[in-house]
Amino acid sequence: MMDIVEKQRAFFKTGATLDIKWRIARLKELRDAVAAHEEEFEQALAADLGRSRVEAYLCDIGPTIVEINEMIRGLRRWARPERHFSGLMCFPSIITKVFKMPYGVTLVISPFNFPILLTLGVVAASICGGNTVVVKASSKSSACTAVLKKFIADIFPPEFVTLVDGGHDVADMCLDQRWDKIFYTGSPVVGRHVLEKAAVNLTPVTLELGGETGNWCVVRKDADLQDAARKIAFFKLCNAGQICININQVAVAEEVAGKFIDLLAAEFRRQGGERIQDSDEYPRMITEAAYDKCASLADEYRSRIVFGGEGSRQSLRYSPTIIYPVAPDEPIVRSELFCPLLPVVPFKDSEVDTLMATIADREHPLAMYLFTSNTRWAWKVMSTQQYGGGCINEVCIHLMVKGVPFGGTGHSGMGAYHGEWGFREFTHPCTVLKGSTRFNLPMREHPYSGAAGEKKLKLLRLFER
């Protein structure tokens, strides 16, 4: 591993990655290669997660191409040095520039749940910023990792971009090296470990985490219940709930809870069929351990399952499962589930602000979703709570909006990326002032006492405003 890092560091020092045209050419190569290997990626996603072709393109392949295209179109503008007036205090030096400099050699640790998008999308951001990249891909999504390893080796030399595979031992071997930037996507538990390792060399880190206590969805009594049920069912079916921004639990006004549950169950049947767990279109849990954890937790709440609660360990598919009623302090709503289980927490609509205060007291989620016709209340909540991002009367598609950041805060992460924000995350702004050799004033120089000092102080008070 040390040899890989040193070769990449040597390549970075050649200055090849600083050239904007060169970066754009590499991004185009990456985009074209993704399109050319679409079928291989689809097959690998089916092998690892049981994804259908449509879901593979919708969630992984298509967004990767969109992300890279945004970078190709915007990079010249983003990378242009900013020009600033230096101000009267700096006279006669009047020109200051801010350069967007790459960090250097970067490490990207990607997860299993969206192995194409959350690997190549981050690699693209690092390339866009002018860095070299070592990828540590997930050992859980082994088929995708194998395809990605060959894919990257075919288009980029290893001193520029390379992928290493393996388990936790390989990840730790990577983290033991000295990096200029680390980008990790995964759980808060491992995120802490990454930060500890990075602290040894004071390496800047971006963390994209799922959130310690999961993402809330709140459905008020004035919401369009049919619309809410349709969208929530779609989202919970997607990747079998193995999504960092997915709904962990839904709080529903008790005045409409019964009707909402009936509508949600009907939507699960309409979109997935009567026995969803037997459908080849429905994704599976990534490992037997993940399936067993989901099934075991469902068994703990068996008496309160009102829909679903069935699965096949052989296929690793577990049906979307509605659990009702669940109190807001029960263990199942105090940790990230990352599976198709959906606890439903009833609340009095008149006490919704108390519910929001409870949510605010917990670790910051990566996403929040509100369904209500009271948009004034919704905007107030969204502008005062702390979370990564979210939607009003919609789910997940804030992730697809161009030009906006994606990232969490606290236990849901640090830093943000996508498009220009990804470029910013992989570059360091360097401020440079161009000095003048003429007309320099003695105002900043000694002496500071006597009449000269008093005169300087008056001028300072005049200029420093």
> Each residue of 238-269: pLDDT tens digit?
999 999 999 999 999 999 999 999 999 999 99
What pLDDT does 211 receive?
85
DSSP secondary structure code for residue 365 in this structure? P
Of the listed 144, 244, 339, 391, which one is catalytic?
244
Per-residue model confidence as pLDDT tens digits over 267-311:
999 999 999 999 999 999 999 999 999 999 999 999 999 999 999
Per-residue model confidence as pLDDT tens digits over 76-105:
999 999 999 998 788 888 999 999 999 999
Of the listed 42, 67, 70, 208, which one is catalytic?
208
Residue 198 scores a pLDDT above 80:
yes
Other C-beta atoms within 10 Å of 354: how many? Answer: 11
What pLDDT does 36 receive?
98
Residue 441 scores a pLDDT above 90:
no
Class in CATH terms, 215-362+367-406: alpha beta
Confidence of residue 400 (pLDDT cuts 50, 70, 90): very high
% the chain with pLDDT above 70:
100
Which residues lie below 8 Å from residue 271, measured CB to CB, with a gap of 6+? Answer: 233, 234, 237
Q: Are 26 and 127 in contact (CB under 8 A)?
A: yes
| Mean pLDDT on 40-59 | 97
Buried b (16+ CB within 10 A) or exposed e, 216-245: bbbbbbebebeebbbbbbebbbbbbbbbbb
Q: Are 343 and 249 in contact (CB under 8 A)?
A: yes
E strands, 12-104, are 82-85, 95-102
pTM recorded for the entire structure:
0.96
Amino acid of residue 248 = N
Q: Considering the chain, tell me which residue range(s) the CATH 3.40.309.10 domain(s) occupy.
A: 215-362+367-406
- Which of 172-176, 414-418, 460-464 is least confident? 460-464
Determine the Cα angle at 11 with ends 10 and 17, to 5°.
135
Per-residue model confidence as pLDDT tens digits over 115-135:
999 999 999 999 999 999 999
% the chain with pLDDT above 90:
91
Helix (H), strand (E) counts: the chain:
16, 18
What pLDDT does 456 receive?
85
Active site residue 208: yes
Q: How many residues make up the chain in this entry? A: 465
Which residues lie below 8 Å from residue 246, measured CB to CB, with a gap of 6+? Answer: 215, 235, 236, 238, 239, 338, 367, 396
What pLDDT does 91 receive?
86
Strand 305-307 versus strand 321-323 pairing type: antiparallel
Per-residue model confidence as pLDDT tens digits over 133-189:
999 999 999 999 999 999 999 999 999 999 999 999 999 999 999 999 999 999 999
Active site residue 396: no
Amino acid of residue 44 = A
| Mean pLDDT on 369-380 | 98
Helices 38-49 and 142-155 meet at what angle, rounded to 10? 160
What pLDDT does 315 receive?
97
| Mean pLDDT on 12-27 | 98
The architecture of the domain spanning 2-211+412-428 is: 3-Layer(aba) Sandwich (3.40)
Q: Considering the chain, tell me which residue range(s) the CATH 3.40.605.10 domain(s) occupy.
A: 2-211+412-428
Residue 58 scores a pLDDT above 90:
yes
Helix (H, G, I), strand (E, B) or coil at 347: strand
Other C-beta atoms within 10 Å of 142: how many? Answer: 16
What pLDDT does 445 receive?
87
Half-sphere exposure in the Cβ direction for 376 (13 Å, CA): 0
Other C-beta atoms within 10 Å of 178: how many? Answer: 12
Give CA–CA dist 321/342, Å, rounded.
6
